[in-house]
Every structure is written in structure tokens, then in C-alpha cells.
Structure 1
Amino acid sequence: MNIKHQARGGFRQVADDELLVQAETVIAAMDSNANFATPTPDLTAVGAAKDDFSAKLAVARKRSGPEETELKNQSREALAELLKQLAFYVSTTANGNLAVILSSGFQATAYPRRGRVPEQPYAVRLNDGRLSGQLTFTLPKVPGALFYEYRYGTLDEATNEPLWGEPILTTSSRDNLIAGLEEGVRYHVQVRAVNGYGRTEWSDPVSMRVR
């Protein structure tokens, strides 16, 4: 993978007003942008989240009570999460092309400069999801990783080895949801970390029976 840049999707340290400006800039830049035919999430959803945050921010500044502040914070988190997902879409679609990334309205960030593949993930932990047929997995964040790939599958009785599905991308190391699983069946999960210099080995497999 010869990617050198990605869209910057972290907004934790960004001020409220700056977050609004960033959202407005991205929506305007990506609207009818031929580089991004099918934005994920949809720009309409991002726009609705931006408008909701703008309205709740105005109320919180006017009244400044704990309830208004909490509602504003919840709305901010929702908008930031959508922008993070959109930045991931831009990064994967642009495939390292800096001009394409910048055309999205997102700022670009370079890959780690140390020239090394990240360390192999470890201590992957599985938990029940909120609903039947779901699992979640969490692992310690891998330094230098830009995103993760995970795969899951059931055990092949003939070989006593898991039958792995296709790798799936995620930007988060925490609370990743795997849904649509068969109840009562034990599933095995592996994760690997990825940056501009390559992929790690798969983590040791972990397994859990779905409730």
C-alpha cells in the first residue's frame, strides 16, 4: 500500500466554532465533488448533525446550564463521529493522492515517518454486543497504526482451523461491532494493524460463543 497521506479525522482538541467551520467546509467541498461519488456517511446526515450542533451550541451559550451543556456535548460528539467516518471514506477513496484529499475540505496528515510497520496487535478482547447475534472487540491501541483490519469466522471441523472471512477495515481499536452472527455459534476473531509501510501479522485468534 503506497499511501502517503490521509484525511485528518480527529477533532477532540478542536474548539466548538472550529468544528462547525470544518464541517461546513467539508460539506461544501464534497458536494458534487467528482472525486467522491458516494460519500459515506451521506452528506445530508452530516449536514443535519452540523445544524443540530450549531443550534444546541447557541442555546448552551445563551443559557449555560448543565442540561444545555450536556446536550451540546452529545451533539458535538455525534458530529465529530460522522466527520471521522467521512475522513476515513476520503482517505480510502483518495488512496494517498494528496490533491484528492485536499479537494474534500479535510486537512491532510502524513503517515508516520519512522519507516516501520506497526507492532503486532495483542490482547484482543471479545464481549457480547447489545443485541443477540452481536459481538464487540477491543484491543490496546497500536502506536503508528493508521487503521486496523479484522476478520472473523467459525471453526472448520475437518481442519480444526477457523474459516476466515474477508478482512474488514476499522479506524478504532475500541468497541468494534460485529453483527449478524448466528446465535449459539463460537466465532473466532483476529486483528492486524496497518500504516503506510505495510500490515502487521494477524493477532492471536480469540473466540467467543454468540448469545
Structure 2
Amino acid sequence: MSAVSDDGPDDEPTYRWPIPPPGGWTADDLDRIPGLPPHTELIDGSLVFTSPRTAFHGRCMRLLENTLLEQAPDHLDVMREMTVKLDAKNRPEPDVLVFSVEANTGPDQTWYRPEDVLLAVEVVSADSRERDREVKPRKYATAGVPHFWRVEQGDDNGLPVVYVYEIDPANKTYGLTGIFHDRLKVSVPFGIDIDLTALDRRPRG
């Protein structure tokens, strides 16, 4: 009689977590590692997995992507959840980003260069507070991304609160230029006017 495995039924797949190579993963590895969960990021050579999106998170991304795409000038494009290859060990995935149209290389593209990105937006989740408030902004600024927005859920009404930052090119750090409730209106990186109270409103054609 053959021995019975304790690993469960033969038809039940066993997932094996990828073992990092010496020195950690590289940005190029992110496209080659099989079976990664959606929206896996690379931070300092380590894989970072995200929790399921909340309704607030998804609706914020929808509102920002739709409005930015509607208002962006023709030489700029808008995308959600695409990675940016900051350097060999860092490839984060902003929730929304604005970039040069010329950076589009085709339907199989999976990342953008930081020099092509004009604005990176992070919507803060319960499991990403430290990364979105400290780690990612620091890395975006070091890589030269000119504008960064951090979006948090307001305590009083559950609507988005947007913290707007602009880079100081002399030392490559972000400075806070405004905190926006209900309505976000700025003149850089281009003229933008977003009704933050429209979070649950469906876009109309």
C-alpha cells in the first residue's frame, strides 16, 4: 500500500511563496515571478502584497481618474494602478498617476519611468498608512516626481481629504502646499477642479 500524503487532496493546489534571491528582488523580476497576487509592489527589494480594496478606496480612484482624464491637457495621460520603476529595487504602484502621453509604449506595457510621471496619487488604506504617508512619498520625491497627492478618508463625513505636495528640486523633498476638503482646486501641475463630494456620484456622459 502506498503512503498517503498529509498535504491534502492531490487536486488541491499548494501555493509556494517566491523565495527572494540574494540581495532581494529587482524591478524587472516583478514581471517574471509567476503567480503573484494582483497589485504586488516592490519596495527596497521586497515584495509587498495589498489587502482587498475598500469601497472608499475604489470610489476615490474612480473619481480621481475620471476627473483628471477629463481635465488633463492633450499631452498628458492618466492611468490607475500601474507601477513606476523608480530604480532597480523599487517599483511601487500609485493608485492614480498622470504622465506624458509619449511614455505609452503599447498594450503590453506594465510600468512607467519616474521622469515621465507628473503626479502620483496614493489613497491611504489601513494596511498602507506608513508606506503611503512616509515611504512612498520619500521615494517618489527622490526619483524626481514633481507632484504627489495623499488621499485620506475624512473622520467627519467619510469623504476624501486630499493632501497636496510639490517637490523642492533643490533637495528632492516634498512640501505640503494645501489640504483640501469638499473641493480640490489647484493650478499645478495643470488646472484641476475636483468636487470631492461627488465620491458616490456616477459619471455622466
TM (norm. structure 1) is 0.22
TM (norm. structure 2) is 0.22
Bigger share in helix: 1
Which structure carries more relative contact order (alpha carbon 8 Å, separation 6+)?
1
